[in-house]
Amino acid sequence: MAGAGVSRWLLATGALLTLAAPAHAAGLTEAPRLAAVYDTILRAQFADVDAQLARTCPPAPREACQELVVVSLWWQILLNPESRALDQKLNAAAATAIAASGAWTRREPRQAEAWFYLAGSYAPLVQWRVLRGERLAAAREGKKIKDALERALQLDPALADAYFGIGLYHYYADVAPRYAKLLRWLLLLPGGDREQGLREMLQARAHGEVLRGEADYQLHVLYLWYEKKPKDALGLLETLDAQYPTNPLFLARIADVHETYFHDPRASAAAWRALIERVRANRVFNPRATDVRARLGLANELLVMNDVDGAIAQLQIVVDARPSEPIGARERADELLRDARARRKF
């Protein structure tokens, strides 16, 4: 349990990938163009990202687009975390983005924008390291994010999105579990302030044009884990789903929140059914894998409601499809199907 707590704290701290999104504040070049790319990523329309970046940089800074390549890869991994197919690609893209932004900070050490993008270039990599269990490396690189953001804000206190990242640090440094706080001490990171961090995050969310979607996603996690505000978290997820309906993650999270926090299998099942309908209409990213996830989720809720026949029907569809992804889905479907058939005998 302690290890899980450390991972959760680091993952949340690593959520500074939101810093990748440029704000509307003075000093950030071509924010509207970059905002449009970020929205494409959040819609999970990844096939369109490269062409959009080519039209964006120039006139936007090349380093900003290099960073957004890493953000795009991270969101693809986040949608299919069991797969390691994109791991090497993300690492290579992150190294390129970090090197480019780092060179910019050396050329123009008083350019706040350069430090801002340097922080954002590390952020998806930090989250990936936590996902893969590389906690110490994640913490070390998280410190680099913090240092770069502090430098950016010293140079330009109007960078609203940077305040969100600093707010994340202040918040999680305060609420971190004991083992994570020891790790923080070993890395010479100062302590946090939960209330200040939350104020900074909400302030940045209110003023950052591009940050809002990413901020809503990160804040929903905070509301669930620490603030004990599942209704607020659900509201944020519903907003995200309405704005980015082609991204299946948000509706899947809605289903999970209904199950885990509200113990409402009917509401959870309704969310999974809605996701299946989007698959049928071809209005969602990676429809085959999404369909499998949704049917497994629906079958689980049907079993909770003692609709054994309905659950068997959903599971049989998954088994018959012989899915290669998500990894482990076929085995999970076989397991649930055996359990469901055993229940039907009684």
For residues 297 and 333, membership in a common domain is answered with: yes
Q: How many CB atoms lie within 10 A of CB 344?
A: 11
User: Is residue 87 situated within a structural domain?
Assistant: yes
For residues 218 and 137, membership in a common domain is answered with: yes
Report the percentage of the chain scoring pLDDT > 90: 57
Of residues 68 and 138, more confidence is placed in 68
* 250 dihedral zone (left: phi>0; alpha: psi -120 to 50; beta): alpha
- For the ranges 110-119, 264-273, 316-325, the one whose mean pLDDT is highest: 264-273
Angle at 269 between CA 267 and CA 270, to 5 degrees: 65
For residues 135 and 260, membership in a common domain is answered with: no
User: Is residue 276 situated within a structural domain?
Assistant: yes
User: Is residue 16 situated within a structural domain?
Assistant: yes
Domain edge (last residue) among 201, 229, 257: 229
Of residues 176 and 283, more confidence is placed in 283
User: Is residue 240 situated within a structural domain?
Assistant: no
For residues 204 and 76, membership in a common domain is answered with: yes
Domain edge (last residue) among 229, 262, 291: 229
Q: What is the pLDDT of residue 209?
A: 64
For residues 127 and 37, membership in a common domain is answered with: yes
Q: What is the pLDDT of residue 207?
A: 81
pTM (two decimals):
0.86
Q: What is the pLDDT of residue 173?
A: 73
Query: Is residue 80 pLDDT above 50, yes or no?
Result: yes
The 10 Å CB-count burial string (b at 16+, else e) for 96-116 is bbbebbbebbeeeeebbbbbb
Q: Which two tokens stand for residue 345?
A: 């005998």
| Average pLDDT over every residue of 193-201 | 84
For residues 223 and 118, membership in a common domain is answered with: yes
Query: Is residue 162 pLDDT above 90, yes or no?
Result: no
For residues 119 and 190, membership in a common domain is answered with: yes
Query: Is residue 7 pLDDT above 70, yes or no?
Result: no
User: Is residue 282 situated within a structural domain?
Assistant: yes
Domain residues for 201? 2-229
| Average pLDDT over every residue of 233-253 | 97
CATH of the domain at 307: 1.25.40
Q: What is the pLDDT of residue 179?
A: 47
For residues 220 and 79, membership in a common domain is answered with: yes
User: Is residue 239 situated within a structural domain?
Assistant: no
Query: Is residue 169 pLDDT above 90, yes or no?
Result: no
pLDDT tier for residue 313 given thresholds of 50, 70 and 90: very high
User: Is residue 100 situated within a structural domain?
Assistant: yes
For residues 286 and 316, membership in a common domain is answered with: yes
For residues 158 and 23, membership in a common domain is answered with: yes
Q: What is the pLDDT of residue 325?
A: 87
Over the chain, what HEC string results? CHHHHHHHHHHHHHHHHHHHCCCCCCCCCCHHHHHHHHHHHHCCCHHHHHHHHHHHCCCCCHHHHHHHHHHHHHHHHHHCCCCCCCHHHHHHHHHHHHHHHHHHHHHCCCCHHHHHHHHHHHHHHHHHHHHCCCHHHHHHHHHHHHHHHHHHHHHCCCCHHHHHHHHHHHHHHHHCCHHHHHHHHHCCCCCCCHHHHHHHHHHHHHHCCCCHHHHHHHHHHHHHHHHCCHHHHHHHHHHHHHHCCCCHHHHHHHHHHHHHCCCCHHHHHHHHHHHHHHHHCCCCCCHHHHHHHHHHHHHHHHHHCCCHHHHHHHHHHHHHHCCCCCCCHHHHHHHHHHHHHHHHCC
Query: Is residue 185 pLDDT above 50, yes or no?
Result: no
Sign, CA torsion 107/110/114/117 = positive
User: Is residue 234 situated within a structural domain?
Assistant: no
For residues 209 and 288, membership in a common domain is answered with: no
The total number of structural domains that make up the chain: 2
Average pLDDT, the chain: 86
Q: What is the pLDDT of residue 300?
A: 94
For residues 169 and 299, membership in a common domain is answered with: no
Of residues 190 and 162, more confidence is placed in 162
Q: What is the pLDDT of residue 131?
A: 92
pLDDT tier for residue 21 given thresholds of 50, 70 and 90: very low
